[in-house]
Structure 1
Amino acid sequence: MGFILTFTFVVTMLSAQWRGLRTTQLGPSQGLNMRVNTVIQGPNGFVYMGGTQGLVRYDGSEFDLFAHNPDDSTSIGSGEVYNLIVASDSLIWIGLRYGGLNSFNPRTGNFRRYPLPKLPYFMTPTAHGLLEDENGCLWVGGHHFQLLCFDRETESFTSYQPDWIDPEKYGRRLSISSILQDVRNEEMLWLSVVDYEHENASGGYGTVSFNKRLKSFTSYPNGGVNIFQDSLGNLYGVRVVNGVSKFSTTTNEALVLAFRVDSNASFISRSLLPVDDKYWMNTGNAILRMDDNGEFNLLYRSQDNEAGEFNRMSMDDAGNVWIANTQGATIVNPRDQNIRYFSLDQFDATERIYPGRLAYDPANDLLYLSYSIGVSNKRIYRIPLNEASSRQADFIETTHDMYGLAVDANSRLWLNGNGQMYRLDGKKEITIDKTHLFDKVSIPWVWSMRTSAKGWIGAVGNQKFMWFHPEGENAREVDVEDLPVWKGVTSYDKDFVGFSFSPSKDRAYLVSSVVHRLDLRSGVARLLHFDVSFNPNGQPVSDVIEDSEGTLWIAGVEFMGRYRIDGDSLILIEKYTVQNGLASSEIHELFADQKGRIWLFTTNGINCIEPQTGEVRYFGVNEGLPQIYIDPRQIIETPDGRIVTVNKNGIIVFHPDSLWNSLSPRQESIAIKAIRVNGVDISSDLDVNYLSNISAPLGKNVIDIRFQGLAYPDDSRLIYSYRLSEEEDWIDIGQNKLVTLPALSPGDYTFEVKAGSPSSIAPIRQLFIHIPTPYYLQAWFIGVAILLLIIAIYLTYKYRINSIRSQEEAKTEVNKRMAELELKALRSQINPHFMFNSLNSIKDFILQANTEKAAEYLSDFAHLIRRILQHSREKVISLKDELETLVLYVDLEQLRFENAFEFNCIVDDDIDLEDVQIPPMLLQPYIENAIWHGLMHKKEKGNLTLKFSRKDDSISCVIDDDGIGRDRARELKSLSAVRYKSMGMGITKDRIEILNRMSSLGISVIVEDKVDSEGNANGTRVTLSIPA
């Protein structure tokens, strides 16, 4: 049975809150030095801010100011920027306080100014409201209730004013501060009109419609500056007083939606923005969110006036909310809001939350926290997880510490403390449970309790583990001393450090220095042995969990692994270390979310492992952790999958999907900020970011490219990769935003850069680069140079050849002249030789007293000498003349030798004797030799034949005798008493060589010794081949 505790139970309400929005402030310390009135994102991805100094462009890292320059007509007009819109033509249209309407072309960086029509009473022409309708007309609202339509084609304004406005009374006081296009009627505009001189500020606003077709105005009783219209046609407007105006364009009913703020918040609403299906409102120093009941709850309040006073809100393409303010701009990044934090600093509690002091009631979406402040303040806090809930956090005072907490399926809170089990059943009383559940155990001191998916409640202390089921399973316990240990292990820490339940079976895993598997039904615990390939014996195990596939994840001080259970053995599947991406080797707690990802809570932040891909991600202070050291010893999962645990002196809550996706690769576009060629900025009429290709000047080939990933609120998380062509691998350059391409060879290149790792899928920014080929390397120049070189070589060669030829010709001429002289000398030697022989014959006739023959011989000799003298100056003579000379000579020899031989001369019919030319006296020495040395010594009558025939391109001359032969003639000569040197044949041989050398005649001579069938000498045959 149970009984009621004697201490008084008091519930104390608290106004504690979850941590508000995490914001980033851009101001003077970041380089933004102006009051910002409005913020938009341009068509090129840059963020543009309008304010007191003009227009500022922001890329996530740097601010570029476009200020008014009186000497530059392409600069922005004078005055403060009030409004910015991006039109369908990708131009940015700007409403200025003094400069009227301006347009800005992001491609060129130039502005154009369009002065507004002049106003009476010397009022300043200011463009307050600004809108582009579906027809491309720009609507401008300004002072004096002036509605202007600007035609961009004609660059002219058309002005409209209601006929019920008295210009003398109200004209100068009224200003159109905002213009909205009706969401359901394209002919209707909604105007917000401000009366600057109204005696009541709250009544100084009005709503007016304008029908574009009828050119008519209609006034409605609605206060506030309309800044948003929902799909139902309701207009929402900001007010000077506390609240938001809501006007139904269907019923013409106006409401004021009040919002709750404390006395430190401004009561002036500034703007309204739809965010995640809700409406955000900002005041001068706070951001609120409207719930489904039309009430606004505080999301964020600027501390210490760091942002000055808030102005209008807007949203970029990535979902970041931008709040213009007097100190610059405040950004709310949705990726930074994934970890909610409830700090106990609100309770003046500064100590850490000890393990096991947390429990969760899913039925009421309520957290229980046991915490003591000092010695006397021992409390059980009840904290609603829903930050938008109207329920406030409260706490219950207790008389002593409660160490372990758990909530069962019936939303009863079980507590352990002072050696007792307590129960809070929803009433304002705590009961000591003394039912049969704990009859068989001595309730130990525990420091952690948790509830399994199957309803078991486990409680662990240093030496004991106790478990029970509130629906009838009595409590049982196991002592660490009774558990089996590894054989051979002499000492280890036997204290329990934690436990976990199986997600689908009735079992638990007990963690000390080793791991035991406990069957909750039978109470049997078995020791699990590690695989020898990864055995952490001696290394303390810190936690173990079972995933949905039945594998175990075990962590320790120096190891982390995934194991398969085989009997009582743990078989390693995968090992994880710091080298795999773990933030720390000291892991305190593990948790498997509903999608199977494994979360590791370490001394250096949170890691998450995706088992299917092996990807490891890290989450730290940048992602919202109050501090990176986490020692929870207790993790709670809500029904919707959120994870709750402790961090520092507070509680963190996050949804694993949102936190995991916050680090998913973002598709950030890349802007090129600068291009330099050999240290000089490239010149172009376009903004450098709009250049798709560049051509370097001739001889310049060092390219510097500076780029920027357009990530907001800043680029601190971006890394970059680049490559020079599609065939090359990506190069990881970390956070470096400048690439230098040195000494590029002439040619065409494609430079590609992206915001991400080499393997990431991210938008690629391309730049085509052309490095021109120097003229001396271009084909035409090389061709001309080669041609000129060839010509030079040819001319040099020609000159050399001509020079050599001239020298050779001169030399040849000299040689020829010398040869001719030598030939003449040889001929002159032949003639005396012949004459010597002939005169000897005449002498013989005279000595023999044969005067008749001597006279005949002398007559023929004279005739022969005359012919020889006639031909002596000729180089060649006809074959006919040569034959006539030879016949005269043979007749003389026959006369001399008394017809001792027969002479035959045969000429082929195809030989023209007049046409064939041969050197004179060429054949005579051979005929003479045949007679004197062959036939003269023959006893019987001899035969001498001279035959001419044509063979190809030459004339063959055969001198054939049947004399004694050359060998016998040499023998007889050696026996002769008369010794003289025969010169005719030698002279003729030399003569033929000279003729061949001079004229390349190619005369050849072949001398053959004839023999009979018995091998005896039978004469000589001489064959001369003379070119015809």
Structure 2
Amino acid sequence: MKFRIWLLFLMINLSLFGQRGLIQYSKENGLISNEVRDVEYDHNGFIWLATPKGIERFDGQRFIHFKYDPQDSLGISSNDIQSVVFDGDKTIWATTFNKGLISIQTEKFNIINYNKKYFQSFGSNRIQAIACRDGFVWCVSENGTLLKFNPKNRKSDLFVFSTVKTPDFNSLFFDEIETNKLWLTSSDGLFSFDLITNKWKKYRFKKSTCIHPKLNGRYTNKMTCLTQDSKGNFYVGLNSGGLLYFNQYQGLFKSIRIKIVDLNYEKISSIAWRDSRYLYLCFENREILLFDTKTKEYVRYEESERSTVLPYRIAKMGSQLAVSSSVSGLFIHDESLIYGKKLKPSMKLIQVKYSKKGRSGYQLLGTSNPVLKKIKGVGPTQITLNGLMDTKTFYYLKNGGILVVGGNGMILLDSDLKISRKMLISSYQSIDKRVQNSLLVGDSLLFVGTLDASLIRISLKTFTQTIVYKANQEEPSNVSKENFPLSLVGYKEFVFFSENDQLYRYHVYSKKLDKIRLFTHENADQITCLTICKYHKLWIGTKASGVWSYNLKKATLVNTYNSLNGLKNDDIIQLIVDSESKLWIMNPSSIAIVNPILKTIKCLEKRNGIEGVQTMTITPDSIYFLQGDSYIVSSSAEKLPIPKLAIPYILQIREMNGNARFTSQKSKYMYNQNNLVFEFGVKDFSNSENIRVNYRMLGLDNRWINGTQKNEALYHNLPSGKYIFQVQVIDGFDVRMTSYSFKITKPFWLRWWFLVLSSLAVGFGIWYYMRTRIKRIQSTEQMKSEFSLQINELESKALRAQMNPHFLFNSLNSIRLFILKNEVDNAADYIAKFSKLLRMILNHSRQDMITVYDEIQSLKLYLEFERLRFDQDFDFDLQIDGQEVLDCQIPPMIIQPFIENAIWHGLMPRTAGGGKIRVSFQKQLSGLYVMVQDNGIGREKAKENNRKRSLKEGSVGLQITKDRLKSLTMRTKKMNEFEIEDLIDENGLAIGTLVTLYFETSN
């Protein structure tokens, strides 16, 4: 029974090696202090550390320090940080030794210090423990007082346990099942505080509350930490070592003793769940181990890691465990990145092979006097191979036997796996004959390469040797050619081997040796390894140019895989093709797994626990990575873990010439904030050494800029416009990118509204100037027009003034004739009519225009006046074409001169009586037509009468009338004219004169 328990423990202990892979970060990596007192994750997965020299934020690549500076009022209040807690939102809370609390916003890095110096209501500057929920900060002070602190109003509520002695509380935990409870551990038991009723309850660990009363005397009530399981019960760590399981519903404790002797009575300072079954237990300054809550067994890390870590606190997020050490800095362990189990056998593992059908398998162990150890099938459990030195490999033979090859020869085992024959070099010191590489062809031929640069063909039936190839050496004969040939591989009836950059092909049956020239002078590279796949393709590993593929049928060479298309390194150490035709490529920093069909590359490296691998072996059910005195083995059926890709992020943006700092939430900058520094980082706790970081400003940078060794990008004098700053992380074929979009606004004099307003202002100015100019011109023109009108009016008045004396002169002459003739009655009647006409003329002379009706009244009076003067010797007729004619406007006394000429120059010279004058008024669409017609002697006859003024020269009245019409046209901008026409009969004799006056009117 004891043996079974020991074997079970051993198996558990061996499975622990799958928990290896702790990656250390210390002052050498940029950590401010190797003494890390506490560790915590925020919601973005960044790690926050409490140290005696300040607070650290870590992303796996870069530390950001928060340190006390007496010159900086916005910095933290103290460097002596005791613990850090994340509130679940966006704030990290840190406790100090005697300076109260410090809050740091995780995104903006805004810092607020809370202590009695600044806030009198703050409870205490000495905080023992802290927890956060619903925006409140719960603390316990050094004197055991529970404080509920509200950061918004910066006030505290105090709750004191009502006993004479106040408990020494040291940790707080909010119940995840009964959310109204707060649990507190102390040196005097476990306490609960009801957040609703504010009532306390104490649970003391003693015999009466313990399911197993047989307690070691060293177990006390000094509790340090606790965590809750899915049932709502608690695992409690003790200051003096060991665990307590507390059922809160029964109020009972159960002790769980530590079964590891060297961890008895060691303080458990921190607890975290690995999954629903396993707990991580942190033994302060000793080690971390896994506790199986079902079997109550413990799983330890290997000795080298236990002695290195010396943990103080632990924090868990997802599959990642962060460990703070009091002397060694920070350790990170990610369970999801580990590939396989690490084992350390008693003898060095050389090779692992299975028979062709996979029914049996052996491990070759040891370099001197090695052994074959069975791992599967029938046969001896262990076969000792005495005399064989510097073991290389072994081969399964078709008859069931095994051939083991060493540096000093070989041992042949028969089908019963008993030694049947040995071929050993008598003197192992004969270095030039030492075997370095070998290849079994069939069951009868073995090809080996020796240090004297020879390829030897050995018949297994007779153990006779034939030199197939011997390299030409310029070195002395006692100097061997190291590791010749570097690789041997068989394909059908051919054996391929290499020497430096040269490939050779040897035909097994014809014994013909061919030299295949692969490389040109430009791409020549040393061949390091060879392997064959079933697609007639020879894979060639090189020292500095990656992996080449050589088509054996087409004799074509292609550089297929290198550091430019997915490999971590171009130095190839080993090539293997597995049963799925995947190509495994090993180089110094990683192992790449290539799917040539899908053209995908995935890498195993240090973060996967793969480092220091010297060679690898693939068997039907396992994959072995040999690491000197240990090896890693993984099931071939196990899926390759997908490495957690590094995540780029933009930390903040700051002005180059100022102290202003902005978060990536800011999206707009002023035109004078165009000298910007972009601080970026990469969150990667896998310690990958092969990631590449690039950045660019989209639209400004034509290509990606290498930012692997940088953490900021500087851009000077950015023009206004929209930008996208991008950070890219490349890990093999995996790429992840983050972007930050922002805008630099234009200066106000370049903005659209300013340009529009400026254009409007300029346009308005031009319009106003033009308008003022036009108004000025119009005013000038108007003044000129008004002046011209005034002149025309004055001219018209002057013309009328000229006409009135002319008319008066003629009328007074007529009165004089009446008096001379002694025609007193006629003279009196004439004077009466004259006075009436004169009054009418004087009234009309004050007006510029009169109606046709008023003009007709004047013309009637004038014609009657003239008939009286000429003894009723003519008749007159006034004709009107419609009533609308009477309302038309014409100048006063404009027709009178034509009637006067018709009477005096047309009718009076007639020898026969019957003179007649007809005046007609006609309204047309274009204007008013006035026609004055007489039946006088005509103008030609009138010229012959030798009167004082001929019509050709124009009488005074006609000239004045002509000037008046011209003036009227200028003033009214309307046509006003007259035309005189001689009337003749069919015989060409004058029968009168027709005068037509035209006055343009508005339609």
Give the TM-score normalised by structure 1.
0.66
**TM-superposed deviation, 1:824:** 1.3
Matched, 1:126 2:169: yes
Please point out which of 204, 209, 226 is paired with 2:246. 209
**Cα distance change on mapping 1:938 and 1:326 into 2, 3 Å:** farther
Matched, 1:910 2:894: no
Matched, 1:30 2:30: yes
**Cα distance change on mapping 1:115 and 1:206 into 2, 3 Å:** farther
- Residue in structure 1 matched with residue 43 of structure 2 by the alignment: 43
SS in 2 for 1:569: coil
- Residue in structure 2 matched with residue 10 of structure 1 by the alignment: none
Structure 1 distance, partners of 2:697, 2:954, is 95
**Cα distance change on mapping 1:942 and 1:45 into 2, 3 Å:** farther
**TM-superposed deviation, 1:176:** 3.0
1:336–1:622 CA contact under 8 A, matched in 2: yes
Matched, 1:989 2:983: no
Structure 2 distance, partners of 1:553, 1:128, is 61
**Cα distance change on mapping 1:150 and 1:1007 into 2, 3 Å:** farther
Matched, 1:546 2:535: no
1:830 maps to a residue whose letter is: M
- Residue in structure 2 matched with residue 412 of structure 1 by the alignment: 402
**TM-superposed deviation, 1:408:** 5.6
Alignment of 1:436-515 (within 5 A): 446-450=435-439, 459-460=448-449, 462-464=453-455, 466=457, 479-480=468-469, 497-501=486-490, 508-511=495-498, 515=503
**TM-superposed deviation, 1:501:** 3.9
2:576 maps to a residue whose letter is: F
**Cα distance change on mapping 1:529 and 1:848 into 2, 3 Å:** farther
Structure 2 distance, partners of 1:294, 1:1013, is 154
SS in 1 for 2:262: coil
2:128–2:140 CA contact under 8 A, matched in 1: yes
**TM-superposed deviation, 1:282:** 6.3
- Residue in structure 2 matched with residue 819 of structure 1 by the alignment: 792
SS in 1 for 2:685: coil
- CA deviations over 1:232-283 (Å, ceiling 9, x no partner): xxxxxx87x42579xxxxxxxxxxxxxxxxxxxxx88877777699877766
| CA root-mean-square deviation | 6.6
- Residue in structure 2 matched with residue 959 of structure 1 by the alignment: 932
**TM-superposed deviation, 1:311:** 2.9
Q: How many residue pairs align between the two structures?
A: 891
Alignment of 1:516-527 (within 5 A): none
- CA deviations over 1:600-621 (Å, ceiling 9, x no partner): 4568876665535656677877
**Cα distance change on mapping 1:978 and 1:209 into 2, 3 Å:** closer
1:211 maps to a residue whose letter is: Q
Matched, 1:887 2:884: no
1:138–1:150 CA contact under 8 A, matched in 2: yes
**Cα distance change on mapping 1:459 and 1:660 into 2, 3 Å:** farther
- Residue in structure 2 matched with residue 366 of structure 1 by the alignment: 363
Structure 2 distance, partners of 1:395, 1:115, is 76
- CA deviations over 1:165-188 (Å, ceiling 9, x no partner): 89xxx99973233444354x44x4
Please point out which of 549, 569, 575 is paired with 1:590. 575
- Residue in structure 1 matched with residue 998 of structure 2 by the alignment: 1024
- CA deviations over 1:807-859 (Å, ceiling 9, x no partner): 66666555444433222111112223444566677889999999998898777
1:127–1:140 CA contact under 8 A, matched in 2: no
Matched, 1:830 2:803: yes
Alignment of 1:863-902 (within 5 A): 864-890=837-863
- Residue in structure 2 matched with residue 666 of structure 1 by the alignment: 645
- Residue in structure 2 matched with residue 311 of structure 1 by the alignment: 312
- Residue in structure 2 matched with residue 301 of structure 1 by the alignment: 304
**TM-superposed deviation, 1:883:** 1.8
**TM-superposed deviation, 1:865:** 4.2
1:366–1:383 CA contact under 8 A, matched in 2: yes
1:316 maps to a residue whose letter is: M
- CA deviations over 1:531-590 (Å, ceiling 9, x no partner): 99x998976655443335443434556766765747x42245665566546666665643
2:648–2:729 CA contact under 8 A, matched in 1: yes
SS in 1 for 2:320: coil
2:999 maps to a residue whose letter is: S
**TM-superposed deviation, 1:920:** 1.0
2:648–2:683 CA contact under 8 A, matched in 1: yes
**TM-superposed deviation, 1:299:** 1.9
2:316 maps to a residue whose letter is: M
**TM-superposed deviation, 1:31:** 3.5
SS in 2 for 1:911: helix
Please point out which of 618, 636, 653 is paired with 1:637. 618
Structure 2 distance, partners of 1:559, 1:971, is 134
- Residue in structure 2 matched with residue 181 of structure 1 by the alignment: 228
Please point out which of 977, 980, 985 is paired with 1:1005. 977
SS in 2 for 1:447: strand
- CA deviations over 1:433-470 (Å, ceiling 9, x no partner): 479xxxxxxx99753124689999654454546488x8
1:821 maps to a residue whose letter is: L
- Percent of aligned positions with the same letter in both sequences? 19
User: Which segments of 5 or more consecutive residues in structure 2 lack a partner in the other structure?
Assistant: 1-16, 67-80, 82-93, 100-114, 210-216, 355-359, 376-381, 425-431, 472-483
Structure 2 distance, partners of 1:278, 1:21, is 18
User: Which segments of 5 or more consecutive residues in structure 1 lack a partner in the other structure?
Assistant: 1-16, 197-203, 225-237, 246-266, 350-356, 371-378, 387-392, 436-442, 483-494
Please point out which of 152, 160, 179 is paired with 1:117. 160
SS in 1 for 2:169: coil
Structure 1 distance, partners of 2:672, 2:146, is 46
- Residue in structure 1 matched with residue 596 of structure 2 by the alignment: 611
2:191–2:202 CA contact under 8 A, matched in 1: yes
Alignment of 1:626-1025 (within 5 A): 636-640=617-621, 642=623, 644=625, 664=643, 666=645, 668=647, 670=649, 672=651, 679=658, 681=660, 706=679, 708-712=681-685, 734-735=707-708, 736-738=710-712, 762=736, 814-835=787-808, 864-890=837-863, 903-911=876-884, 913=886, 915-928=887-900, 944-952=917-925, 954-960=927-933, 982-998=955-971, 1000=972, 1002-1005=974-977, 1007=979, 1009=981, 1019-1025=993-999
Structure 1 distance, partners of 2:148, 2:749, is 44
2:124–2:141 CA contact under 8 A, matched in 1: yes
1:530–1:571 CA contact under 8 A, matched in 2: no
2:877–2:917 CA contact under 8 A, matched in 1: yes
2:489 maps to a residue whose letter is: S
1:966–1:1019 CA contact under 8 A, matched in 2: yes
Structure 1 distance, partners of 2:18, 2:237, is 37
SS in 2 for 1:885: helix
- Residue in structure 2 matched with residue 251 of structure 1 by the alignment: none
Structure 2 distance, partners of 1:989, 1:766, is 90
- CA deviations over 1:177-208 (Å, ceiling 9, x no partner): 3444354x44x4455566x7xxxxxxx86746
Alignment of 1:34-183 (within 5 A): 35-49=35-49, 57-60=57-60, 61=62, 62-64=64-66, 66-68=94-96, 69=99, 70=115, 71-73=117-119, 78-79=125-126, 117=160, 125-128=168-171, 130=173, 132-143=175-186, 145-153=188-196, 157-161=200-204, 174-183=221-230
**Cα distance change on mapping 1:923 and 1:306 into 2, 3 Å:** farther
1:879–1:917 CA contact under 8 A, matched in 2: yes
1:507–1:517 CA contact under 8 A, matched in 2: yes
1:551 maps to a residue whose letter is: K
- CA deviations over 1:353-408 (Å, ceiling 9, x no partner): xxxx95334566635565xxxxxxxx36679999xxxxxx9998848766776566
Structure 1 distance, partners of 2:880, 2:733, is 101
1:28–1:328 CA contact under 8 A, matched in 2: no
Structure 1 distance, partners of 2:335, 2:945, is 136
Matched, 1:570 2:560: no
Please point out which of 418, 422, 429 is paired with 2:411. 422
**Cα distance change on mapping 1:933 and 1:558 into 2, 3 Å:** farther
Structure 2 distance, partners of 1:637, 1:1015, is 145
Higher relative contact order (CA 8 A, sep 6+): 1
SS in 1 for 2:170: coil
